């Protein structure tokens, strides 16, 4: 089965000439590439589960060696890490454009919609143009870098950090 022209990578463009710095750590739970992450009390990486909480900028990257019978017909961005897998991630920095997961039912406009954490590792719209409408409580992580209406759960959306 042939792939579409959709990018099957989380990092679309890095602000650094050398690219993002990939890191790895043991993860807990089922983690899809493109989810926002945090470090839990045991030192594992986990899905960022604090609604509107401070974001570390940690984003789960696709596995370098997807170990599944459906790859390559299943995009590596759609293959989750399982509990206690080694999770690859990067800390997003200003100027990076990454594909992150957008909360189902969200509609965002390129260059106008600010995005913040929804409490499940996905991002949600928190305001348009200027500053976010709920600044101080929403902790924006970036601005939408493509227009999209997310009807499915966890659609990938490009975000400029």
pLDDT at 21: 85
pTM above 0.85, yes or no: no
65 vs 20, more confident: 20
Which residue ranges make up each domain of the chain? Answer: 98-160
Closest CA to 159 of 110, 120, 107, 119: 110
Rounded to 5 degrees, what angle do the CA atoms 115, 121, 127 make? 15
| Band of residue 59 on the pLDDT scale cut at 50, 70, 90 | very high
Q: Is the Cα dihedral 147, 153, 155, 157 positive or negative? A: positive
**To the nearest whole number, what is the mean pLDDT of the chain?**
80
Q: Is the peptide bond before 112 cis (omega within 30 degrees of 0)?
A: no
pLDDT at 4 over 50: no
Of 28-32, 35-39, 78-82, 137-141, the range with the lowest mean pLDDT is 137-141
Split at pLDDT 50, 70, 90, the class of 17 is confident
pLDDT tens per residue, range 135-144: 455 578 888 8
The Cβ-side half-sphere exposure at 97, using a 13 Å CA radius, reads 10
With cut-offs at 50, 70 and 90, classify the pLDDT of residue 69.
Answer: low
């Amino acid at each position: 089965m042939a792939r579409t022209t959709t990018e099957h990578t989380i990092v679309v463009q890095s602000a650094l000439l050398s690219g993002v710095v990939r890191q790895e750590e043991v993860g807990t739970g089922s983690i899809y590439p493109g989810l926002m992450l945090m470090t839990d009390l045991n030192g594992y990486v986990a899905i960022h589960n604090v609604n509107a909480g401070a974001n570390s900028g940690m984003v789960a990257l696709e596995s370098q060696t997807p170990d599944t019978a459906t790859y390559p017909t299943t995009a590596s961005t759609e293959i989750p890490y399982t509990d206690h897998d080694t999770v690859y991630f990067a800390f997003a920095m200003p100027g990076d454009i990454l594909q992150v997961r957008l909360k189902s039912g969200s509609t965002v406009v390129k260059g106008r919609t600010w995005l913040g954490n929804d409490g499940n590792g996905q991002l949600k719209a928190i305001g348009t143009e200027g500053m976010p409408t709920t600044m101080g409580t929403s902790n924006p992580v970036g601005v939408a870098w493509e227009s999209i209406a997310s009807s499915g759960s966890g659609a990938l959306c490009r975000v400029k950090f």
